[in-house]
């Protein structure tokens, strides 16, 4: 195993533990009511009867990225935790609302919030998480300037995220979505939060001179991450991903492999766009796309975006060990299975 990979895994585990402790401490101060307990359920700490449960909590990727950027650029890791809490709550707000819009009943191998408590309460839960994200920053011990900058970065990212989600939902009723529109959509839906994570980390470490390149790096990371997510959505193991295979096809999502597949194999357009697709139809479509080289083409695109991120990383004015950690992070994203 590469030495830099071992160091990265150790770093990720350390940051993740810190974030988890800070999240739990933050929620310990909040009410023990049904609204907050549903959030605790979604975050993986309680079961649906509001009893303690140690469930899979997701990758905590955005706060980890924020903490990593803060640390390798000379900041104090502990000072990144309030921003990390805000990023994680914002990300999870988007998942709760996304599940409602997509009518998904499983998330991380568990029942989704709306499928248990209804769509209306799911909306309330997501909205509450946004307010808590702001509270995490405002209640922190950071100075006034940093608080204002972090809130501005967060709100800008939330708006971009909503723009991307708006486009994603709009695409479901369209038959003519092209790759350029898709990339614009995921720059909002996915890249915005990656960019915010890095930007927040640099603000906390007072290395704002790096922000422009960090945004370019994380934009490429986000593009590669989302296309890989699209691949896993069609061909991933549901036991690993926690979501059923082919859910994007069922919902008429216009993901990268589906758009590419419609372009390369126009004869499958009617069945792909049919809202009444059967499980057999979905299986046939995924097998055909794979045999047509679509899966491999998508993987090549992921590698292309992550390679571009690596090129920019190498231009950063950081010491060798920290550069290697950030480079290793790109390989970590590329090898994920969920």
Q: Which pLDDT value is given to residue 9? A: 94
* Cβ–Cβ < 8 Å for 65, 196: no
Q: Would you call 14 helix, strand, or coil by DSSP?
A: helix
Domain tally for the chain? 1
> Using one digit for the tens of pLDDT, what is the confidence trace for 185-219?
999 999 999 999 999 999 999 999 999 999 999 99
Rounded CA-CA distance 55/323 in Å is 33
Res 190: pLDDT: 97
The answer to whether residue 276 scores a pLDDT higher than 90 is: no
Is the pLDDT at 237 greater than 90? The verdict is: no
User: Residue 250: what pLDDT?
Assistant: 86
Averaged over 220-232, what is the pLDDT? 96
Please determine, for residue 243, whether its predicted confidence score (pLDDT) is greater than 90.
no
The answer to whether the beta carbons of residues 154 and 136 sit under 8 Å apart is no
Write down the pLDDT at residue 313: 98
* 251: its two tokens: 């919902």
CATH code of the domain in which 228 resides? 1.10.600.10
Q: Find the mean pLDDT for residues 143-152.
A: 98
Range of the domain at 230: 3-334
CA distance 186 to 203: 24
Measured distance CA(318)–CA(72) in Å, rounded: 8
Mean pLDDT of the chain: 94
Q: Is pLDDT above 80 for 160?
A: yes
Instruction: Give yes or no for residue 321 having a pLDDT over 50.
Output: yes
Span 30-57, pLDDT tens digits: 999 999 999 999 999 999 999 999 999 9
Q: What is the pLDDT of residue 274?
A: 86
Question: What pLDDT shows up at residue 1?
Answer: 44
Identify the pLDDT of residue 2: 63
User: What's this model's pTM, rounded to 2 decimal places?
Assistant: 0.95
pLDDT recorded at residue 230:
95
Shortest CA distance to 325 belongs to which of 75, 71, 60?
A: 71
For the cut 80, the answer to whether the pLDDT of residue 165 exceeds it is yes
> Residue 232 pLDDT more than 70?
yes
Q: Mind giving me the DSSP string for 184-245?
A: HHHIIIIIHHHHHHHHHHHHHTT-GGGHHHHHHHHHHHHHHHHHHHHHHHHHS-HHHHSS-T
- Taking alpha carbons only, the member of 229, 204, 199 closest to residue 305 is 229
- Which pLDDT score is estimated for 4? 84
């Amino acid at each position: 195993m590469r030495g830099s990979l071992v160091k990265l895994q150790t770093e990720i585990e350390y940051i993740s533990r810190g974030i988890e402790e800070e999240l739990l401490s933050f929620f310990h101060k909040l009410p023990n009511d049904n609204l907050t307990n549903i959030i605790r359920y979604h975050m993986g700490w309680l079961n649906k009867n509001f009893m303690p449960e140690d469930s899979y909590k997701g990758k905590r990727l955005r706060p980890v990225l924020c903490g990593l950027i803060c640390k390798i650029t000379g900041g104090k890791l502990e000072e990144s935790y309030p921003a990390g809490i805000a990023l994680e709550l914002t990300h999870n707000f988007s998942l709760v609302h996304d599940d409602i819009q997509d009518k998904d009943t499983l998330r991380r191998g568990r029942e989704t919030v709306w499928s248990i408590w209804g769509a209306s309460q799911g909306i309330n839960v997501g909205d509450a998480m946004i307010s808590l994200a702001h509270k995490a920053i405002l209640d922190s011990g950071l100075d006034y300037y940093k608080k204002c900058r972090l809130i501005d970065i967060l709100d800008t990212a939330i708006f971009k995220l909503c723009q991307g989600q708006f486009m994603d939902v709009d695409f479901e009723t369209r038959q003519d979505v092209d790759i350029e529109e898709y990339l614009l959509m995921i720059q909002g839906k996915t890249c915005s939060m990656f960019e915010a994570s890095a930007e927040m980390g640099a603000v906390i470490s007072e290395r704002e001179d790096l922000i422009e390149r960090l945004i370019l790096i994380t934009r490429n990371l986000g593009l590669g991450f989302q296309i890989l997510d699209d691949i896993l959505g069609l061909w991933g193991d549901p036991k690993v991903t926690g979501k059923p295979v082919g859910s994007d096809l069922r919902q008429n999502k216009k993901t990268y492999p589906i758009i590419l597949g419609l372009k390369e194999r126009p004869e499958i357009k009617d069945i792909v766009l049919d809202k009444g697709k059967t499980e057999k139809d979905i299986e046939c479509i995924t097998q055909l796309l794979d045999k047509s080289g679509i899966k491999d083409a998508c993987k090549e695109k992921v590698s292309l975006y992550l390679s571009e991120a690596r090129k920019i990383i190498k231009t950063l004015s950081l010491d060798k060990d920290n550069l290697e950690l950030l480079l290793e992070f790109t390989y970590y994203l590329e090898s994920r299975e969920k």
